[in-house]
Amino acid sequence: MARPFRVLVLNQISASGLKRLPAEIYETGKDIAEPDAVLVRSADMHGMDIPSSVMAIGRAGAGTNNIPVAAMSERGVPVFNAPGANANAVKELVIAGMLLAARNLPAALRFVDALDPQAPDMDKQVEDGKKSFAGFELAGHTLGVIGLGKIGCLVADAAIRMGMHVVGYDPEITVDAAWSLPAQVKRANSVPELLRASHFVSLHVPLVPATRHLIDAAAFEHARHGAVLLNFSREGVVDEAATLAALDSGRLRQYVCDFPGPAINGHRHVIALPHLGASTREAEENCAVMVADQLRDYLESGNVRNS
């Protein structure tokens, strides 16, 4: 009798997905001989010794840049991912990111944490805080969305519903070919054109050679003075040194990103999150289920489907 499939799981993956796999599940660190497949979320598999028994890899997320995809395809090993399964979670956090920046919320929260509720001048301090943290509304401002896949389109739609104007650009596809873009979105023909129009710029492209440092010092030359840059895609899409220079010169008002890093942590104009975009219960379940179904189909019958 054939033995059950063995799946090596490198990160914590929602049980809703794992239980769809007719396989023995081995968490990383446990002894496993000849795994048939690997299931991964954020662990970096570059440089990892991937056993020759592995027939498929599943990534419980959209991006696959933590997996040596080219090397795997030379070996005939398909890499499955979960495009769109966490798009709603990312969209919600991007909207939150714009609000964090526009309403000065991180500084306001730090201010309240430091208040002494027993201080005799507490009311005066609150009044001063209220004045110094006054912000601006999203409605009426323009959001530029770079990358018009599922996340970019959902972000554009949400922004329009909040009364924003939206300009869209995708380095790979025309605005017309975008997944599901609201009719109100204006087209930009290039990154500079989009930057010139936008008070907020949100990045939703994968990290591939063509998008590495898509936003660099030359791009910032076109940005509106005081723009807010949001990066919930991948760290390498933005040239960090150029971003810090743009923040220091005032060209950029704030950088909101989903990746902490030594050069940006603690910078007064940076709001950095620990890669939380897809970290909701719902998104984790959706990703795990989508990728587990693909792995199961492949292991059982050799069927390849993406989503």
> What residue ranges bind ligand MLT (CB under 6 A)?
41-42, 61-63, 86, 275, 277-278
Residue 10: CB minimum distance to ligand MLT, A: 12
Instruction: Give the Cα-Cα-Cα angle 54, 35, 40 (nearest 5 degrees).
Output: 75
Residue 241: CB minimum distance to ligand MLT, A: 23
Residue pointed to by tokens 């050799």: 302
Residue 110: CB minimum distance to ligand MLT, A: 26
Give the residue with the Cβ less far from ligand MLT, 13 or 242.
13
Residue 283: CB minimum distance to ligand MLT, A: 8
Rounded distance between C-alpha atoms, residue 235 and residue 277, angstroms: 13
Give the residue with the Cβ less far from ligand MLT, 232 or 255.
232
Give the residue with the Cβ less far from ligand MLT, 201 or 278.
278
Give the residue with the Cβ less far from ligand MLT, 122 or 276.
276
Rounded distance between C-alpha atoms, residue 167 and residue 143, angstroms: 6
Give the residue closest to ligand MLT by C-beta: 61
Give the residue with the Cβ less far from ligand MLT, 120 or 274.
274
* Residue 185 neighbours by CB under 8 Å, 6+ apart: 145, 156, 160, 166, 167, 168, 175
Residue 83: CB minimum distance to ligand MLT, A: 8
Instruction: Give the Cα-Cα-Cα angle 301, 51, 26 (nearest 5 degrees).
Output: 75
Q: Look up residue 114 and give its amino acid.
A: A
Pairing assessment for the beta strands 165-169 and 186-187 based on DSSP bridges = parallel
